Structure 1
Amino acid sequence: MGDKPALVDGPTGRILSYTQLSTQIQQFAAGLDQRGFKKGDVFATFMPNVPEYAVVFLGVAAVGGINTTVNSLYSTSDLVHQFKDSNARFLLTIPEFLDRALPAATDAGIEEIFVLGDASAIEGVSAFADLLNNDGQAPSVAIDPKTDLVALPYSSGTTGLSKGVMLTHENLIANMVLSCQPNPVDENDSMIGVLPFFHIYGMVLILNLAIYRGVTLVTMPRFDIEQFLQIVQDYRITCLNLVPPIVLALAKHPSVDNYDISSVRVIGCGAAPLGEELERACSSRLGCQIYQGYGLTEVSGACHINPAAESAGKTGAVGPVLPNTLSKIIDTETGAELGYNERGEVLIYGPHVMAGYLNNEEATAHTIDASGWFHSGDIGYVDDDGFFYIVDRVKELIKYKGYQVAPAELEALLLSHDAIADAAVIPSPNEEAGEVPKAFVVLREPITPEEIMQWVAEQVAPHKKVRLLDIVSEIPKAASGKILRRVLVEQERERLAAKS
């Protein structure tokens, strides 16, 4: 690819060509080797989307290391958990994140902290550039793609503590190759990297896939509608990989009419369900095809993708299963395989299913059965044509703008407040965010909903904020004491239906 731009920093226009990318990957790998970073060691990346993300990810992979990518919204306590659980040796971050990163890194015993940018005035950190100050000669490392790990993203669980998802080289390569089949991209395309690279969607299906296919990828550290539209116009972006809230903006925001975004030929949407009406509205306004996909961190990205050419006739479908991948629907009670148009749990089998959860054999055994089938925890069905639809979740995770929020974590926090006697948290449907966390609390002492929500907001990452709260007399529970969230979810649906 030579001098062709591989990555462009959207806000500044700074370009990293394919030649420069290759050189910096080799230099970064050599820099790690010089510091004693070896095969199997873990490197934590805690920063927004910038071109250097690719240098780090592929440089760590080149020396047989493991990338643990960190949610840029994480609080210090979240960081401590991931750093300790992953046993990360090194950390790369940006100056703006040091107020959270430094205390967490100290607590977790991180050996060296690197900062992207000028680090001369910051005590206790090294400059990212120091890792590139060499001839790029790193020793060759023998890697077994089937067993050696390359990525360790963290996925929230209903227990509230995030789990490290162990992904091998084969897992990621298989997912990239297979995901290209339904909707191919090539060196003539250009993409925008606005979805976070720490998330499996951005990591595999945007960052690494773009490089694999020779695409020019323009990065954005955060979503801003005006800047997003300007980049699409200026760089003639052809393929957009998005989540429902951004599709909603493209369908309804008045600023869209002020830009020429006619270069866009296709939009892929994932991370959360996209409503049929919204899918049609965006497709009609932009005059391009929109397709949905379905995947999870545990399957290295995608497992089902709807071919764009067929998406109009299958609105709402997440598509057929990917090539070299198997999927089936089972009865949630008996485990028996179901037929067409019968709702049950979605199971996946293929070369991109994770190796397991780090330090958690019990959770791994609960999720991957003895035959190697991954149990998604999602409810869906497959139609007569082999197209899958996701309709609900067995798992109780809330998906706020694609971010996972564990109800149990918020419930535990609420119950720590002296004025709260009992609490439950559920997802409340929201057009912009998909779902927002809603709390139901039983009071022990007088306090307002606003005071409680503000108290929670001061202690959690922004996506974990409780955004709706009802004070109730009791929380519905089973005889075992388990919260009957389904009862609350149904009550919330009825409330919203009556309101509309």
Structure 2
Amino acid sequence: MVFRSPFPDVEVPDVPLHELLFADLGERADRTALVDGMTGAAMTYAQLAGAIDRTAAALAERGIGKGDVVGILSPNTPYYAVVFHGILRAGATATTINALYTPDEVAHQLSDAGAKMLFTVSALLPNAAPGAEKAGVRDVVLLDAAEGYPSLGELLTTTAPTPEVAIDPAEDVAVLPYSSGTTGRAKGVMLTHRNLVANVVQCMPMLDVHQDTRILAVLPFFHIYGMQVLMNMGLNVGARVVTLPKFDLAEFLRVIAEHRTNRVYIAPPVAVALAKHPLVDQYDLSPLEVLFSGAAPLDADLAGVVRERLGCRVAQGYGMTEMSPVSHTIPDSMPDIPVGTVGVIVPNMECRLIDPATGQDVGVGERGELWCRGPNVMKGYLNNPEATAATLDDEGWLHTGDVATIDENGYVSIVDRVKELIKYKGYQVPPAELEAVLLTHPQIADAAVVGVRDQDGEEVPKAFVVRQAGVELDETGVMSFVAERVAPHKKVRVVEFIEAIPKSASGKILRKDLRSREKA
């Protein structure tokens, strides 16, 4: 059974993303596009579009063009939008890198993506520089400045012509974010210009975002949620996007009060602070109209507490990097949809629910793996046909790995996961990656990682470890070993020592058996 949106399909323009956003600024030209929430420095739409063109020209001068990949390793800043769209304007592909990555993780993504150049900031040079060197990336440009490195400011002074590049929106890859998908190590997700353009216009009837909207952008632009829902959807309608480089509760509250941001996007851990922290009462949050949660499930009771305390509407949606990312959302025009659901299907998408045991479609009220198809679904995983085939079938259905239900009103709820991926504070943590790190420890014979709930209800990585015979390795030693080798959000936070890792006859880890130990 195929389920569709209650909203009619929308027309998807056959243009590159930068043309959709900046080809005709009209009355937006003199309006403020981006504001640095830390300093108050602002950039109009005309200034933004001009800087994008100059960046594209400078990239062309450096030999960057169609088919090339450029990395961005930076926290949120107005200049992130400049380099992101400058890369696309030059015909190249942007690979956005987690700002918390270690040198080895930076190197892996740059190498795997085949990047020729990296944009970063001086504060991240301790990780960016060795990562770029290991990946063989020699051209490193800073969004700010540091001795020995060219700066974006210098690139913007070029007088070279803006390149004219023929882009096929349906085929040419615009961005290459990395996702673990339904399982395994992070993979490059090939999102075309059409994928991104489609999802921007698919969400237009659902989200009441317009030129008077003021968006607080603290969720990172390197993540598809921040990139598309905050940055690109905001810029598409002439909204004002106020950036913060990281989440700090006091700064977050200050920006809402001072910049009167009326639409704020968060991940669920922020909702916990908004519900409980006494600091919230010290700021005027009356401008806030909509608090929108994504990246991980938001508890309905928690949403209710936040709604009552802040006096704003609370909503959530669902998506994946592989879907550019939004497939479901609670529309602003349907405020009575329960927050415990992820709302309804967006226009131009079809969904099915498949019984994982039988492979058959199930209907209203029944549980099944969510499959999605639409113009926003990725082209595939970079240089990984096996992973692509396991996630995206021949008929274009993306197998999400999430178990869902749909009720008689068309409201979709995510109820479980068939995939192994751990979601820690909205960040993806692939168990296979942590297992690979653990197995490099000389005192560990075998290991497996699953997600468990901590005392706050947050999903965290738990390692089941088999010690080598005769060693005295403890929990602290295991956690410290992993912490030194991965980004902070990937750290193992619980350790249990066991005699053997349960595995199938084919050698696959039986994670259900490990999870059942938690319930025993």
TM-score (norm 1): 0.95
For residues 247-275 of structure 1, what are the alpha-carbon distances to aligned partners after superposition, in whole Å with 9 as ceiling and x for unaligned?
Answer: 11111111111101111111111110111
Question: Which of 466, 488, 497 is the matching residue for 2:514?
Answer: 488
The residue aligned with 1:76 is: 103
Say if 2:137 is the partner of 1:115. no
Summarize the Cα distance change of 1:431–1:152 in structure 2 as closer, same or farther, 3 Å threshold.
farther
RMSD: 1.5
1:44-79 deviation per Cα after TM superposition (whole angstroms, max 9, x unaligned): 100100000111111111121111000111111111
**Which residue in the other structure is 1:260 paired with?**
284
SS at match of 2:334: helix
The Cα of 1:157 is off from its aligned counterpart by: 5.1
What is the deviation of 1:37?
Answer: 1.1
Partner residue of 2:380 out of 356, 365, 369: 356
Post-superposition shift, 1:348?
A: 0.6
Structure 1 residue 33 displacement after superposition: 1.3
Displacement after TM superposition at 1:175 (Å): 0.5
**Which residue of 419, 425, 433 maps to 1:409?**
433
Question: Partner of 2:133 in structure 1?
Answer: 106
**1:407 corresponds to which letter in structure 2?**
P
* Contact kept? 2:56, 2:163, Cα under 8 Å: no
Alignment of 1:392-431 (within 5 A): 392-430=416-454
- What is the deviation of 1:2? 2.8
**Structure 2 letter corresponding to 1:383:** D
Is the contact between residue 26 and residue 136 of structure 1 (CA under 8 Å) also seen in structure 2? no
Residues 401 and 433, structure 1, Cα contact 8 Å, conserved in 2? no
In the TM superposition, residue 472 of structure 1 has moved relative to its aligned partner by 2.2
1:126 counterpart = 2:153: no
For 1:90, the aligned partner's letter is M
Matching residue within 36, 39, 48 for 2:66: 39
Matches within 5 A, 1:12-51: 12-51=39-78
Question: CA offsets per residue over residues 111-153 of structure 1, 9 Å max, x none?
Answer: 411012223x22xx31121210124631321111111111110
2:473 is matched with which residue?
447
Structure 2 residue 413 is matched with structure 1 residue 389:
yes
Q: SS at 1:44's partner residue? A: strand
String of CA shifts for 1:432-485, please: whole Å, max 9, x gaps. 573111112122211221121112111111011111112223322223332211
Q: Is the 8 A contact 1:182 1:307 kept in 2?
A: yes
Amino acid in structure 1 at the alignment position of 2:152: F
Stretches of structure 2 lacking an aligned partner (at least 5 in a row): 1-27
Matched, 1:58 2:85: yes
User: In the aligned structure 2, how far is the partner of 1:380 from the partner of 1:157?
Assistant: 17
Q: CA deviation at 1:335?
A: 2.1
The equivalent of 2:505 in structure 1 is 479
Task: Give the 3 Å change call, closer, same or farther, for CA 294–168 of structure 1 in structure 2.
Answer: same
Q: Distance in 1 between matches of 2:235 and 2:376?
A: 19
8 Å CA contact 2:181, 2:322 repeated in 1: no
Matches within 5 A, 1:171-190: 171-190=195-214
- Counting aligned pairs with the same residue, the percent is 47
Q: Which amino acid aligns with 1:306?
A: I
Matching of residue 201 in structure 1 with residue 225 in structure 2? yes
Equivalent residue number for residue 498 of structure 1: none
Give the 3-state SS of the residue equivalent to 2:460 in structure 1.
Answer: strand
Deviation at 1:310, TM superposition (A): 3.5
Residue type of the partner of 2:131?
A
Q: How far did 1:312 drift?
A: 4.0
**Where does residue 331 of structure 1 map in the other structure?**
355
Conserved? CA contact 2:60–2:90, under 8 Å: yes
Alignment of 1:117-156 (within 5 A): 117-119=144-146, 121-122=147-148, 125-135=149-159, 137-156=161-180
Contact kept in structure 1, 2:51 and 2:82, CA below 8 Å:
yes
1:260-296 Cα deviation digits (max 9, x unpaired):
1111111111110111111111111111111110000
Measure, in 2, the Cα distance between the counterparts of 1:344 and 1:311: 26
| CA distance, structure 2, for counterparts of residue 86 and residue 112 of structure 1 | 15
Q: Which amino acid counterpart does residue 76 of structure 2 have in structure 1?
A: N
Deviation at residue 106 of structure 1 after TM alignment: 1.8
